[in-house]
Amino acid sequence: MPLFDFTLKNIERALAFNYASPCWFWLTDGSYNICINGKRLLSYNPDCLTTEERAQVEQHAAANRLPAHEPDYYIVRLYEDVLSEALPYTWHNVGELAHQCLLNPTIDDLAGEARWNSVILDEDDDLLDKCMFPHGYLGSGYMLMPEFRVWRYSDEIYIYWNGNRTNENGIPSFQHTGEAVFVISFDDFIYEVRDFHCRLMAAMAERIRQIQIDFPNFYPVVRPIVHQDGTPAGETVYDLAGLMAEHKEREQELNQALQKKWPIHLDFEQANLRAGINLRQLLADNPHPIDIVRITSF
């Protein structure tokens, strides 16, 4: 398994379900997962469902040729999050203090509360920016997911994971529960990002080819545009040429993302002290042991 795994929905069902706006984005309809050391960390716990709900979920997955109990959404969302919310934070090493804070999620919460209550930071956006913990994310809230944070330290990529979320009845939301920090080399992480990009672009190129061969009359699709008061405002036309043009643009997104490198503020500790936040004291007062696990497989 790759780090970022995905499956596209049955093409006939994807076209039918997204007929209202069949652009490239919507045709990435499918399911996805994040796989580390043999565990599919996004997989939902079927015990959260009633017997009837579980049967419906599994029937829906089978009909769409998707794995059951995984995020059923547009794969491009995870792809965009990886490129924009995680990748920019992997180019520069964080300092030792920031690293120790990031290994301790309690400190992130306490520092966040202190920043929220700081009168100084209310009036100084530049200082606030320097006080922020230098990490990215995997997943930005479109689907129920475990908590992930990503940063670089000593030329390796660290991925904090917390899969302990529960539903209103206290049942674990995910099949794999726990909390850990996974470590992977920078080169291996970049390889997985590139691999995700290449597999998604190849799958979507094949999807476009399938549409041309098996659904030659699907496009164009014309959709009216209306104002809020219901009066006509024109129309939107989805056609094969537009789909292919967007695919060409998407093929360039990784190269563009590789140029975005989030800076590390060297005065991170001093900035927090100026805001009244003593990170070293917070660390001393709030120990949080956590397993640090080397990624050996996906």
pLDDT tens, 142-168? 789 999 999 999 999 999 999 999 999
Confidence of residue 140 (pLDDT cuts 50, 70, 90): low
DSSP string of the chain? --SEEEEE--HHHHHHHTTTS--TTGGGEEEEEEEETTEETT-B-GGGS-HHHHHHHHHHHHHTT--TTS-EEEHHHHHHHIIIIIGGGSSSPPPHHHHHHHT-HHHHHHHHHHHHH-HHHHT-HHHHHHHS---EES--SSS---EEEEEEETTEEEEEEE---B-TTS-BSBSS--EEEEEEEHHHHHHHHHHHHHHHHHHHHHHHHHHHHH-TTS--EEEEEE-TTS-EEEEEEE-HHHHHHHHHHHTTHHHHHTT------TTHHHHHHHTT--HHHHHHH-----EEEE----
pLDDT of residue 179: 98
User: How does pLDDT run across 117-128, given as a tens digit for each residue?
Assistant: 999 999 999 999
Q: How far is CA 261 from CA 198, 238, 289, in A?
A: 21, 35, 30
CA-based nearest residue to 96, from 153, 149, 157, 155: 153
Non-local (6+) Cβ contacts of 229 within 8 A are: none
Non-local (6+) Cβ contacts of 256 within 8 A are: none
User: How does pLDDT run across 24-64, given as a tens digit for each residue?
Assistant: 999 999 999 999 999 999 999 999 999 999 999 999 999 99
pLDDT of residue 137: 95
CA-based nearest residue to 250, from 74, 92, 91, 86: 74
Q: What is the mean pLDDT of the chain?
A: 96
**How is residue 126 written in tokens?**
């530049």
Rounded Cα distance, 10 and 29, in Å:
9
Amino acid at 26: W
pLDDT of residue 141: 73
User: How does pLDDT run across 169-183, given as a tens digit for each residue?
Assistant: 999 999 999 999 999
Q: What is the pTM of this model?
A: 0.95
